[in-house]
Amino acid sequence: MKAREKEKLKDTINALKKKKGAIILAHSYQQEDIYDIADFVGDSYELSVKAMHCQESTIVFCGVKFMAETAKILSPEKTVLLPVEKAGCPMADMITLDQLKNFKAKYPGVPVVSYVNTNADVKTETDICCTSANAAKVVDSVQGDSVLFVPDKNLAGFIAQRTEKEIIPWDGFCEIHHRITPEMILKAKSKHPDAVVIGHPECRVEVSELFDYALSTGGMVKYAQENSNKKIILVTVDNMANRLRRENSSNNYITLGMVCQDMQMTDLNSVLNALEKGQHEVKLDHETIGKAKTAMERMVEIK
């Protein structure tokens, strides 16, 4: 699409958004065009809180399915639209409700901590959810010496180094972060010896051990805001660098070529369709919302 057409489309979206009383929320891993029409860009936790407190009754959620569901769980009275219905999270899909029930049956009485990257039905069988930013605090907050942690085994390994509790992990992972190897980091470091390495704890433990700072997406934004003129090797999804450049363009961000295809699916046309046709509305039944909300609200309290 030509630049002028794009700008026109963005103007149309902005006008329609106002007319429909909608707000557009975008995850940091979205494309830059989506940032331009978003009212708020953030991580999945920040976006859910924003969805909860905003005045608008319609939320266009530019991200993936579990995030839009999370917004719906916390704001059931609002209409939540996911522009691309099939935009999902392969990691969230690595554990189903039945699999979680079987996992719990193997460890009776052991509380379940679910990473927020889980589908709504999995949250209904969860004691408390967590984000990558508050995962260790959440684990420490639950009763008992052990927790079942789903779905990310890498985040589980990261937390295990930061808590006294026994973490029993599910065998899931983010396909993008899991693909990053220690060799990739060492190569980037030898090419840029003066760079600082910041990365996401969804990476394998042997990778996150090579970070100078392990940070959630929100933590990365804060780091970029607080530091200037730095060379930064960014160990996460490449699109994050676009966001960080907006926060502080004096830093030089070096990326590793990591792309989340599901996050790439949302484009300007799909957002326009969402606004024009009200598609694709997230629908969850009352029981699911009620049970999942308890686990989410406990998480919000720990933040």
**260 lies in the binding site for ligand SF4 (CB under 6 A):** yes
**114 lies in the binding site for ligand SF4 (CB under 6 A):** no
Provide, rounded to whole angstroms, the least separation between the CB of residue 93 and ligand SF4. Answer: 9
| Sign of the dihedral defined by the CA atoms of residues 213, 217, 218, 222, in that order | positive
**175 lies in the binding site for ligand SF4 (CB under 6 A):** yes
> How many residues in the shown chain lie near ligand SF4 by CB under 6 A?
12
**239 lies in the binding site for ligand SF4 (CB under 6 A):** no
**176 lies in the binding site for ligand SF4 (CB under 6 A):** yes
Residues 13-32 as x/- pattern, contact with ligand SF4 by CB under 6 A: --------------------
Q: Counting Cβ atoms within 10 Å, is residue 52 exposed (0-12), middle (13-18) or buried (19+)?
A: middle
Closer residue to ligand SF4, CB minimum distance, 9 or 256: 256
Region near ligand SF4 per CB under 6 A, out of 170-178, 185-193, 242-250, 269-277: 170-178
Provide, rounded to whole angstroms, the least separation between the CB of residue 178 and ligand SF4. Answer: 9
Region near ligand SF4 per CB under 6 A, out of 30-38, 53-61, 245-253, 257-265: 257-265
> Strands 79-81, 40-42: parallel, antiparallel or unpaired by DSSP?
unpaired
Closer residue to ligand SF4, CB minimum distance, 117 or 141: 117
As a whole number of angstroms, the distance between CA 180 and CA 186 comes to 11
Q: Which two tokens stand for residue 177?
A: 């972060």
Check: CB of residue 65 under 8 Å from CB of residue 45.
no
Please pick, from the candidates 128, 240, 263, 274, the single residue that binds ligand SF4 as defined by CB under 6 A: 263
Please pick, from the candidates 90, 182, 218, 219, the single residue that binds ligand SF4 as defined by CB under 6 A: 90
Please pick, from the candidates 110, 237, 271, 295, the single residue that binds ligand SF4 as defined by CB under 6 A: 237
Closer residue to ligand SF4, CB minimum distance, 174 or 271: 174
Please pick, from the candidates 48, 70, 75, 117, the single residue that binds ligand SF4 as defined by CB under 6 A: 117
**91 lies in the binding site for ligand SF4 (CB under 6 A):** yes
Please pick, from the candidates 74, 82, 89, 130, the single residue that binds ligand SF4 as defined by CB under 6 A: 89
As a whole number of angstroms, the distance between CA 300 and CA 303 comes to 5
Q: Which of residues 39-78 bind ligand SF4 (CB under 6 A)?
A: 64
**262 lies in the binding site for ligand SF4 (CB under 6 A):** yes
**289 lies in the binding site for ligand SF4 (CB under 6 A):** no
> Using CB under 6 A as the criterion, which residues of the chain lie in contact with ligand SF4 when the complex forms?
64, 89-91, 117, 174-176, 237, 260, 262-263
